[in-house]
Amino acid sequence: MKLSLAIVAFALAIPSATYAQDSTAVSKGEYPNTFSSGSANVSPFTNQSKRFNDWSISAGVGVPLLQSADLTSIKNGNGKNLFGYSAYVSIDKAITHAFGINLQYDRGETRQGWFNTKDSAPDASAVGARTQYDAISILGDINFSNLLRRVDNHSPYRWALHGYAGVGTIAYRAYQKDGSNRQTLMTEVKPFQLGSMFFQAGTGLKFKVNRRIDIEGRLMYVVTGDDEFDGGGDAYSAINKRSEQVSDNFFNATLGVSLKLGKHESHLMWHDPLQEIYYKLDVLANKNQDIEVCKKGDADNDGVCDDWDRQLDTPAGARVDGAGVALDTDLDGVIDLYDKCVTVPGPVENNGCPVATTGPVVETETKLEGIEFDLNSDRILPSNTPILNNAVNYINSSNGSYNVIGATDTRGTDAYNQKLSERRANNVKNYLIKNGVQTGKLQAIGKGEKDLKYPECEPATKCPEWKNRANRRVYFEAK
């Protein structure tokens, strides 16, 4: 029965150890479904998606002490404490960050009784024994530090408490030496037999030296399930009648080293998912705290924070652009709030309307607007398309003809600025013609830097950028 259980446990453990991995996935933007466990951030479970190493090899040496038996390693009667030796090698597979499976081989020798069998018997009644054993077992490995680690613990993760438990098969040869100083083989058990099953459990404390090496101290308790393991002879011998226990058990204290295998930087058993999640949340929280809107307020109440407002004294009620500058649609120097002819340029003295013999032009008579350009560019910006389309409709509905006048700011030479202003004017003219305006109604004129909307911007360094931008323009003038 014991052997059958071991076979079943082994059969269940091997597939789990082979295919279990920790992985990360790249979301394909698909809607969560039953196969994605409620998360769209999934992908096929493959070796390519692994982020962590999950295999390691461990080895160690130690001291076994027979504790629960008729002959013990701990001071027995008038005897003394006797120390044996042990060694182990294991192949370790991490299933998750908190659980793994180890296939382990143990070899050692316990020493028990009143004296060491290498020595002579102190008297005729003294009995000494030793037991050589070999064992193979499957151990479950629980990483308690990952299970119990506080989410607000941001200290370096270098120590880990592990718990182990598992079953296996043990083979041993138990020898006894009495007062006659003769050493006799009392019991021999072969491996993989019905009576060779055993159980062991314990704890270990690991220290991460680097990404490849861990060292670990373990204390395991081995339950042999056999009353003859201590060398006392058959179950009804005089020695084995001294106590009622039916299983000889021993402690095994070891010190070992683990070599972590794989190409990744970290091992799965040293990864704390909660720490990773909370770290990312902290980063996001810190970024949110760094963003402060309107540190300096909005002194002119134009809806644009003073942090990036280029005109801090906008008159109340004036419409502004994204930079907080009062709108001047026709670029005549009179903001729309005070301009009686919002879309037609005119002098300040005439409230922004052109001077004509028939009287000032009112806004209902025209819908022409001007546009601005980027520095050193004659490209028509997409934001200006509605203004130019409005000009197309107006010019087509009027009987007059118009000058398309290009201008620049004061950066660059006179000759360069003259050519740049001509290109700007011609680009606007060509746009209007392409969209249906008759060629004869338009004339492109470049005035270079001689037609500044803000003459005080000579040189350009004397003015803020929004005034220089206003100088880089194309506007319309009736002939």
pLDDT in tens, 190-203: 888 777 899 999 99
Find the range with the poorest average confidence among 69-78, 144-153, 351-360: 351-360
Instruction: Give the model's confidence band at 356: pLDDT under 50 very low, under 70 low, under 90 confident, else very high.
Output: low
pLDDT at 375 (0 to 100): 85
Q: Distance between CA 28 and CA 415 in Å, rounded?
A: 56
Q: Distance between CA 6 and CA 192 in Å, rounded?
A: 10
Q: Where are the alpha helices (DSSP H) in 376-455?
A: 385-397, 414-434
Phi, psi of 166 (to 5 degrees): -175, 180
- Is the pTM above the cut of 0.85? no
pLDDT at 60 (0 to 100): 98
Give me the chain's average pLDDT, please.
Answer: 82
What 3 state SS string does 268-306 have? HHHCCHHHHHHHHHHHHHHHHHHCCCCCCCCCCCCCCCC
Share of the chain above pLDDT 90, in %: 34
Whether residue 8 has pLDDT greater than 80: no
Share of the chain above pLDDT 70, in %: 85
For residues 425-433, average pLDDT: 92
